[in-house]
Amino acid sequence: MSIVLSIKNVDKTFGGLHALGDINLDIEEGKTHAIIGPNGAGKSTLLNCCIGRLIPDNGTVEFDGKNMIGLQPHEINHAGMVRVFQTPEIFPDLSVLQNVMIPALAKRDGIFKFNAFKSLAAEKSLEADAIHTLEDMGLGEHIYKHAGSMSRGDKRRLELAMGLVQHPRLLLLDEPTAGMARHDTNRTIDLLKRIKERGMTKIIIEHDMHVVFSLADRISVLAQGRIIASGTPDEIRGNPKVQEAYLGGAEL
């Protein structure tokens, strides 16, 4: 099985706070790997160390066999590691379609070369791909609306489309269903299942155990900056250490 992302001996401190300690993690091609753990466990910090927003104090992050440490976030993104953020980062005053075309163009041309506002209308094949991606995410009826006018759930799915249109080699999702009502969460689970069936490799950080157990092939549990368990959903469900750390002893 080929390894897309390999995290080795990663440490990160903020002042006196040891946010991550000796993290080792391999992400297999085509799998959905969930990272769970209580608030403040270090999940977002770990993701930020992977995508170049933070530089670990120690350790390596290898993506497709290349060390990413020291590369800029846009370089890592361009290499194919795409993160969908915890808080939607969309352009509210642009149309839904323009929101998706901008990352597609940036991916193709590199962020320092493209001029989104000049060339969007002329980019027919890119536009077709953007429309296809939006329809695929169930946003077909919103394509020409202002992105800012959509519901919270649709904004999050737009953000997912902005990631997918870049055809990532590895998609990192930080709490894709946070703040969603149950019916919205279920819709997003269905979309993520569809992406999974196509074989896309994903890391998903998620609080909602229903989402985790619906999607994950493997689960790693972070607690106080350390991975305390990694395994299949069944192994994690039955692990007493995990129940203790994560749910105060309650059954998963």
Ligand X SMILES: Nc1ncnc2c1ncn2[C@@H]1O[C@H](COP(=O)(O)OP(=O)(O)O)[C@@H](O)[C@H]1O
Residues comprising the chain, all counted: 252
d(CA 50, CA 20): 13
d(CA 141, CA 143): 6
d(CA 86, CA 205): 9
The 10-29 contact track toward ligand X, x by CB under 6 A, reads ----x--x-x----------
> What phi and psi, each to the nearest 5 degrees, are found at residue 25?
-155, 130
> What phi and psi, each to the nearest 5 degrees, are found at residue 210?
-60, -40
Handedness of CA 141, 143, 147, 153 (dihedral sign): positive
Name which of 94, 41, 63 is nearest 172 in CA terms: 63
The 16-45 contact track toward Mg ion, x by CB under 5 A, reads ---------------------------xx-
By CB under 6 A, residue 103 contacts ligand X: no
- Token pair of 48 as six digits: 């930020």
By CB under 6 A, residue 73 contacts ligand X: no
By CB under 6 A, residue 43 contacts ligand X: yes
> What's the min distance (Å) between Cβ of 102 and ligand X?
27
Give the binding range for ligand X (CB under 6 A) out of 21-29, 35-43, 73-81, 153-161.
Answer: 35-43
Give the binding range for ligand X (CB under 6 A) out of 22-30, 38-46, 107-115, 118-126.
Answer: 38-46
Q: Which is nearer to ligand X, 159 or 175 (CB)?
A: 175
Residue 41: name its binding partner from ligand X, Mg ion, none (Cβ under 5 to 8 Å by kind): ligand X
| List of residues contacting ligand X (CB under 6 A) | 14, 17, 19, 37, 39-45
| List of residues contacting Mg ion (CB under 5 A) | 43-44
